[in-house]
Chains A and B, each alone.
Chain A
């Protein structure tokens, strides 16, 4: 079934506007959903088996192979309810949580943002915030806060309802913390997330506060307006990198780490596993699709020759290498748990970044590359942890009763000031900007996962820099494990432990180091 699903998905993403492909894709989803209803009960049934019986069964050699998969499934067991209640929850979710998710999506899609008389949808409006022109950014920001403000009652209702809905199911299932069900789904322990959050929060002043003060200076301002935070830097590079060149950059960087890594990546180019050009109707963004272990992964890009596009190629090929190596685990255990899902991709990107940085022509180019990387990391690490903190505040406050739009806005603003620092001015409508972020609605508490992935790779890379030999073999061993091992087992060979705050501090030190270098180049 995985093969058909992968084929239909890839065909469809190649041109989403082709009605034949859309129909083929839609029919596939319908058929496979129908077929898989035969299989849905299986996990629930396994979890009804008593521990003793399952343990005895696991002694059999043919089942021992599946131990990681079964043990993983068992983790859901304590929170599983009686069949009747599960069924009621499931059916009621269509008119409960599901309906409010849809209300959010449809409201968002219908919003228009008035910029100089032009009515923009949300994404083009948000894109104005990365315009090189300060006046355009300001107009975009004002339009966004105006429209969000006019609709804030709806977003407040959605937020209140979903937080309450979550509290109800958490209570029934016996989760003891507002984020506990997310941690379980991510297969990560609360103390690990706490260690991450505490380390990042403690580092705010040395990371974001310091960097944005420097950026304000570069832009010739005392303080940045919130709409200037993601403005392109004055010296951002504009030269184009041809495809063959991009290929060589990434393969050289991978090969410098280990020839085996370049060998695996080379297949993607030589065997036509990559779809690179921008085409009318093609899906936006980029991804690596593992398809099924008996076939091979495919990579989709929208390559336009910017340095960022080369980084995206390195990122997706990192996923691709991981998928090739993990395929040996078979379809039930090849998928990497969230905790390490972004490891290979971010690591591949880091190798490529370092290699490009070494080849930087002059100080200006080096500075621009470093600043770009630091901004990416702040958006992934500092920003996402601040989002997580905001969600915790909202859900905690909701336990005491409904929140007004003003209360949510105050929580949002306090978290922003704390995380981004005194070099950015937040006023004139920023208090409504929580309202458009879909993750708060669709996947509560998911956001820390982004920070987790980036920080983990930074720490891993720090170990790599200090190791003389043998790192690559351990690294491949980790990727080959796919989803068959817990993060503690995967990281142990590197002497790393994600529940130790020192582990996260090591990764954050690397971002600090880049900011140190920027300060040095600046003076």
Chain B
């Protein structure tokens, strides 16, 4: 992020045709993340995130009342797994 005053890195996007002298410019392949917005894998991950986040909260709430130590011990691992969908 840079600011307006020093925006020369972010030169305004040129209008019109791309200069042919640049050769072929690559476009990224996002399929390494998901095949498509409608893909089954993505729907499954949404559902998994929902389920795991709720379970995480419930687990902490219930154990933290009596055992803050247990919460501190296991929770970062669970939170991290949740962020990446490791099971």
Contact = CB atoms under 8 A, between A and B. Distances in A.
B73 A3 contact: no
B30 A69 contact: no
A36 B53 contact: yes
Given A35-B53, A273-B28, A286 B9 contact: yes
B10 A308 contact: no
Interface residues of A, number: 90
B25 A243 contact: yes
Contacts of A521: none
Contact of B80 (A244, A330, A436): A330
Given A2-B83, A291-B33, A292-B83, A383 B5 contact: yes
A437 B4 contact: yes
Contacts of B62: none
A211 B17 CA distance: 37
A179 interface: no
Given A1-B83, A7-B30, A276 B25 contact: yes
A46 B74 CA distance: 12
A500 B72 CA distance: 37
Given A41-B57, A273-B28, A278 B18 contact: yes
Contacts of B3: 437-439, 447
Contacts of A304: 11, 14, 18-19, 22
A296 B30 CA distance: 10
Interface in B67-87: 68-69, 71-77, 79-80, 82-86
A282 B24 CA distance: 18
Interface residues of B, number: 56
B33 to A, nearest CB: 4
A234 B21 CA distance: 24
B75 to A, nearest CB: 7
Interface in A230-255: 230, 240, 242-244
A122 B4 contact: yes
A412 interface: no
Interface in B22-45: 22-30, 32-34, 37, 42, 45
Max count, chain A CB within 10 A of own CB: residue among B5, B19, B86: B5
B12 to A, nearest CB: 6
A298 interface: yes
Nearest to A20: B37
Given A4-B49, A296-B32, A56 B10 contact: no
A284 interface: yes
A294 interface: yes
Given A3-B45, A303-B25, A437 B5 contact: yes
Interface in A110-151: 122-124, 126-127, 130
Contact of A450 (B2, B29, B34, B80): B2
B28 A10 contact: yes
B18 A4 contact: no
A4 B45 contact: yes
Interface stretch (A58-66, A79-87, A214-222, A358-366): A58-66
Contacts of B9: 285-286, 308, 312, 315
A355 interface: no
Nearest to B54: A38
Contacts of B75: 42, 46
Contacts of B14: 278, 304
Contacts of B11: 302, 304, 306, 308
A298 to B, nearest CB: 5
A295 interface: yes
A70 interface: yes
Contacts of A275: 26-28
Nearest to A311: B9
A8 B46 CA distance: 12
Contacts of A272: 26-29
Contacts of A123: 4, 7, 12
A54 B76 CA distance: 13
Interface in A1-50: 1-4, 6-8, 10-11, 14, 20-21, 24, 31-32, 35-36, 38-39, 41-42, 45-46, 48-49
A62 B69 contact: no
Contact of A4 (B4, B42, B53, B86): B42
**Which 4 pairs of residues, A with B, have the shortest CB-CB distance?**
A272-B29, A277-B25, A38-B53, A285-B10
Given A56-B69, A57-B72, 9 more contacts: A4-B49, A39-B53, A127-B12, A276-B26, A277-B27, A304-B14, A308-B11, A379-B8, A438-B4
